[in-house]
Amino acid sequence: MIVLSVCSFKGGTAKTSTSLHIGSALALFHKKKVLLIDLDAQANLTTGLGFDPDEQDSMAPVLQGEKTIQEVILGTCIPNMDIVPADTWLERVEVSGSLAADRYSHERLKEILRNLSYDVVLIDTPPSLCWLTESSLIASHYSLVCATPEFYSVKGLQRLALFINNISERHDTKVLGVALSFWNPRGKSNDAFLKVIDQTFPEKLLQAKVRRDIAVSEATIYGKPIFETAPSSRASTDYMALTAEILTRI
């Protein structure tokens, strides 16, 4: 089983869309048994698959030891792909209940995932360097960094790189790659952005880039991945290519 954290330092980097569509592509086109874990209290991955976060249990009670992970896993519209939803309780979970008194609380998620029977576990982390993101990285074999070709996204990569490097010194986790979304092949500043990414994460930039496509936003209305709502769209093609490249790196 491979555990992969999908992370970024700021919002708007298509982190959740990347999690959703890589997971869906693995299940649909590569016949992998996939578990998505929504660790972001905004719960966009949860709503993106048609679930109401106010009506579901999240990883919060599991981390607190009140439920097992099997009790909060839900099946999705995609065969072979399940999800652990998110809710607002995740936002402050580490300072409440049994976690508040546990000095090794950030290692609890790793123990929870240890005996699951999936091929791939994808964790959608919050867009910040918080306890949940640290817990996810510690539990993961790899991290996938999401970015967009714009100034604040690229600058945030430098802080994220330091954060991941500090964790990797104590735990066995590696950066799998950097995935670029909202890509414009004719962008005037592309070379400058790509140079900064390569300096921050040497040789980690993935060749497959996801172009801007309104079909991705429209898919969330239906609570389904783009492969089902707009299978011939350019974003659908890009996400399939990105998934294939990720598999080769794994």
| 30-76 pLDDT tens trace | 999 999 999 999 999 999 999 999 898 999 999 999 999 999 999 99
Residue 223 pLDDT class (50, 70, 90 cuts): confident
CATH number at residue 38: 3.40.50.300
For residue 153, the model assigns a pLDDT of 66
Q: Which helix (H) or strand (E) holds 245?
A: helix 234-249
Residue 155 pLDDT class (50, 70, 90 cuts): confident
Give this prediction's pTM: 0.94
CA distance 229 to 217: 11
Spatial CB neighbours of 211, under 8 Å, sequence gap ≥ 6? 182, 183, 184, 185, 234, 235, 238
State the average pLDDT over residues 10-16: 82
Token readout for 195 is 């140079």
CB 167 within 8 Å of CB 132 = no
Q: Is the pLDDT of residue 219 over 90?
A: no
For residue 70, the model assigns a pLDDT of 96
Query: Could you please report the per-residue DSSP string of 62-77?
Result: HHTTSS-GGGT-EE-S
CA distance 101 to 95: 8
State the amino acid at position 118 in one-letter form. Y
Token readout for 72 is 């909060």
| 107-124 pLDDT tens trace | 999 999 998 999 999 999
**Count of structural domains, the chain:** 1
How does the average pLDDT of the chain come out, rounded? Answer: 91
Domain with 157 in it: 2-249
